[in-house]
Amino acid sequence: MTSMVSYRYTGLGEPQWSSARVSVRASGGEIVESAASDVHSSMWDKAEPWRTFRWHRGQKHYSGCYWSTTESGFVVYESRLELAHLVRADFDPSVRRIVAQPFLVQIALDSKCRRHVPDYLLFTGDGLVIVDVKPRELLEKPKIAYTLAWMRDVGARMGCSFEVQSEPPAMERLNLRFVAGFRRSESVSAQVLEELRGCNLDGLTIGQAVSCVQHPPPRVRAALLHMVWRHELLIDLGRPMTSQTLITRVAP
């Protein structure tokens, strides 16, 4: 989690936490609302992104849809940085569900009505995690630090943890993006996968593993990287990936 600049609430007295309300856009366009302290899990069952895509000439961010193996469907993103963290969440075996732009929060704070839509809501084995994605260079801007601070506190009242995610390590991002290209099982040979799973790959390099089965190397590499995506094999994603990259076999 990226650390945030601490922010002291100003204005008239303590924040009016009882005013915090959460709005979810359900399938069909229906809006479901609740006090932040009364949010229940059924609100997320059919949640759809709060915002719709907007494209315009000269825009700085690129929106799109990413096919998630976690969701078995598309998840939206509004910037390349959001996409990088969406791929990381999809790769994380502890994440069971991903909801983009999951809700709108409104709260009376410092004599004004504040509004915010987080980037993602992750369902993990340890509970719900609200995620806001912000470039590191923007984290100390007072307006952004202020919003993240009160969003963290509202999230706690919702029973959620809160993370601010910025730029991931460059090599990890590049490697994970490459591995994600082999995430879909229908694009990988089932026969090659079966044969590789019968081999002792632990401690081999990628180049050595490719030679373990009698199939065209591109098909074997695709299957190996699919196994990396599924956490059947481990490689160091923080280092350049080459034929000399070492493989660790994960115990079933």
- The predicted-structure confidence for 37-75, as pLDDT tens digits, reads as follows 898 888 888 888 998 766 666 666 688 999 999 999 999
Residue 145 and residue 149: Cα distance in Å, rounded?
Answer: 6
- The SS3 of residue 71 is coil
Q: Do both 149 and 193 map to the same domain? A: no
CA distances from 220 to 177, 201, 210, 234, 252 (A): 19, 13, 6, 16, 21
Q: Do both 146 and 180 map to the same domain? A: no
Q: Do both 161 and 179 map to the same domain? A: no
Q: Which domain holds residue 41?
A: 17-165
pLDDT at res. 15: 59
Q: Do both 89 and 181 map to the same domain? A: no
Examine residue 152 and state whether it is found in any structural domain, yes or no. yes
Q: Do both 137 and 41 map to the same domain? A: yes
pLDDT at res. 43: 87
Q: Do both 148 and 175 map to the same domain? A: no
Q: Do both 39 and 97 map to the same domain? A: yes
Q: Model pTM?
A: 0.90
Q: Do both 206 and 100 map to the same domain? A: no
Q: Are 105 and 36 in contact (CB under 8 A)?
A: yes
Q: Give me the tens of pLDDT residue by residue for the chain, a chain 252 residues long.
A: 444 555 555 544 455 778 899 999 988 888 999 999 898 888 888 888 998 766 666 666 688 999 999 999 999 999 999 999 999 999 999 999 999 999 999 999 888 899 999 999 999 999 999 999 999 999 999 999 999 999 999 999 999 999 999 999 999 999 999 999 999 999 999 999 999 999 999 999 999 999 999 999 999 999 999 999 999 999 999 999 999 999 999 987
Q: Do both 145 and 177 map to the same domain? A: no
pLDDT at res. 51: 81
Domain boundary among 146, 165, 184: 165
Domain boundary among 137, 165, 193: 165
Alpha helices in 102-237 (DSSP H): 142-157, 170-180, 190-197, 206-210, 217-229
pLDDT at res. 141: 94
Structural domain count, the chain: 2
